[in-house]
Amino acid sequence: MILNELKNKRILIFGFGREGQDTFLFLRKLFPKKIIGVADQNQYPTSSIQHLKNVKFHLGKNYLKALKKYDVIVKSPGIPPKIIKPYITKKQKVTSQTEIFFDNCPGKIIGVTGTKGKSTTAALIYGILKKSGFKVHLVGNIGKPVLMSLLKSGAGDIFVYELSSHQLYNLKKSPHLAVFLNVYPEHLDYYKNFQEYINAKANITKYQSKCDFLIYNSENKIVREIAKKSKAKKIPIKGKYYKLNIEAAKKAGELFKIPKSKLLKSIKDFKFLPHRLEFVGKFKGIKFYNDSLSTIPETAIEALSFLGKNVETLILGGHERGLDFSGLAKKILESNVKTVILFPATGERIWKAIVKEGKSAKLPKPFFANNMKDAAALSCKYTAREKICLLSPASPSFGIFKDYKERGNLFKKWVKKFGRKNQK
């Protein structure tokens, strides 16, 4: 939406998390005296919101009833569209922070998406451009929410925007440079089906013109099919895990005419993000890797491929989302993994998939753990010196753990504790 269109509209910010709060601050700057609605299912403590002026709050269990009272709803990405659909009329406009930003951004947007790898790739591109002297901003999932950035930006600004499927959903504009890494089954509890998820991802290039660019993973079948329909200038890339991220960042840097020596130096200096195949350290002669952000089977498969034959212990399992583990089971049986440590709820189903695929093959030894302390103790006990223990759960963290960060941090805490305790 163009900002002038909001001037005389009744606006509701739907979802008051990180993005919603940024949207509120942005709209307050534009319209200091306007009454803005805020709806959220959480009942926020009075002390945290009482200082906000000219706000109509709709908090708690009846928050959905507020929808009918407003002309424009700025929906936060974490709220599934299916939740609000029954309450919306054709006269109302449902928009998002991402859509408002795309419609009003004066500079260039580099959009990065993919089921996995988008945070690392966005951070790499940002680092490369920043070190080369560009006025660049890292926004979206990995960086800051975007709307407040608009207030001080101009035509020379570049925004590296990590775009989730939720942010791309229903978007009617695509970035000048789109980076499309991969598509795997994910967020199936959010969308009606896998195809709706694919369609959301496809919006990163759907509205590009022949003046735009698309860097895409030519080895991912779904991405390849989407790229065929794109009008943008296409730049195919290949690679697994970090190699794919690095290749995408290099191609982006080349488009901005950054010399090869500077590109390679920026990549060499880059510190990879936590919980993404993060090397924790070597304890008791064992190398430990934290890949807690692995929430689908495909990323665990890629982690095993990337680290190679020295992975001897694999920690798997987590929240149940009905994912297919047969491909992961095959990969484990082809590898040198001798021990699998399994968390509920998917741990049992992963083990059944391994048994089913294994048939007469020699199976790894299974252990079932209900907390990270036990899993770490088992990994120290059953991994040989000079071998690798890999946490790559292939499942979301919810259940035992609050999020993937807590899961990864607890892994690092306990392997260091047990490893150093037994260090020889």
Q: What is the mean pLDDT of the chain?
A: 94
Question: What average pLDDT score do residues 58-70 get?
Answer: 95
Tell me, yes or no, whether 27 and 51 share the same domain.
yes
Count of CA atoms in the C-beta half-sphere (13 A) of 158:
20
Cα separation of 389 and 401, whole Å?
A: 20
Residues 6+ apart with CB under 8 A from 257: none
Tell me, yes or no, whether 176 and 325 share the same domain.
no
Cα separation of 121 and 244, whole Å?
A: 9
Q: Which residue, 198, 265, 276, 289, is CA-closest to 241?
A: 276
Beta-strand ranges (E) seen in 52-135 are: 55-59, 72-75, 93-95, 108-113
Question: What average pLDDT score do residues 191-214 get?
Answer: 96
pLDDT of residue 130 exceeding 80: yes
Task: Map tokens 């020379």 to a residue.
Answer: 156
Boundaries of domain holding 243: 99-269
Phi and psi dihedrals of 381, rounded to 5?
A: -75, -35
Tell me, yes or no, whether 408 and 283 share the same domain.
yes
pLDDT in tens, 81-114: 889 999 999 999 999 999 999 999 999 999 999 9
Q: Tell me the Ramachandran region of residue 195: left when phi exceeds 0, alpha when psi lies from -120 to 50, beta otherwise.
A: alpha
Cα separation of 338 and 313, whole Å?
A: 6
Cα separation of 141 and 23, whole Å?
A: 15
Tell me, yes or no, whether 128 and 261 share the same domain.
yes
What does the block give as tokens for 84?
A: 């609000």
* Residue 273 near residue 123, CB atoms below 8 Å: yes
Cα separation of 182 and 294, whole Å?
A: 14
pLDDT in tens, 295-309: 999 999 999 999 999
Assigned domain for 312 exists: yes
Cα separation of 82 and 59, whole Å?
A: 19
pLDDT in tens, 157-178: 999 999 999 999 999 999 999 9
Q: 13 burial class (0-12, 13-18, 19+ CB within 10 angstroms)?
A: buried
The set of long-range contacts for 62-65, using a CB threshold of 8 Å and a minimum separation of 24, is: 63/39, 64/39
Assigned domain for 150 exists: yes
Tell me, yes or no, whether 362 and 265 share the same domain.
no
Domain boundary among 224, 243, 269: 269
What pLDDT is stored for residue 423 in this prediction?
57
What does the block give as tokens for 9?
A: 């509209």
Question: What average pLDDT score do residues 315-325 get?
Answer: 94
- Secondary element (H or E) of residue 329: helix 326-334
Q: Indicate the pTM of the whole model.
A: 0.91
Assigned domain for 189 exists: yes
Helices 297-307 and 326-334 sit at what angle, rounded to 10 degrees?
20
What pLDDT is stored for residue 46 in this prediction?
76
CATH (domain of 358): 3.90.190.20
Cα separation of 189 and 229, whole Å?
A: 28
CATH (domain of 55): 3.40.50.720
Task: Give SS3 for 319.
Answer: coil
Question: What average pLDDT score do residues 346-355 get?
Answer: 97
pLDDT in tens, 275-294: 999 999 999 999 999 999 99
Number of Cβ atoms within 10 Å of the Cβ of 412: 20
Task: Map tokens 């083990």 to a residue.
Answer: 351
CATH (domain of 130): 3.40.1190.10
Q: Which of 145-149, 308-312, 353-357 is least confident?
A: 145-149
Tell me, yes or no, whether 285 and 387 share the same domain.
yes
Tell me, yes or no, whether 49 and 63 share the same domain.
yes
Tell me, yes or no, whether 138 and 12 share the same domain.
no
What whole-number percentage of the chain has pLDDT above 90?
A: 87
Cα separation of 8 and 123, whole Å?
A: 38
Tell me, yes or no, whether 119 and 84 share the same domain.
no
- How many structural domains comprise the chain? 3
Q: 252 burial class (0-12, 13-18, 19+ CB within 10 angstroms)?
A: buried
Cα separation of 94 and 1, whole Å?
A: 10
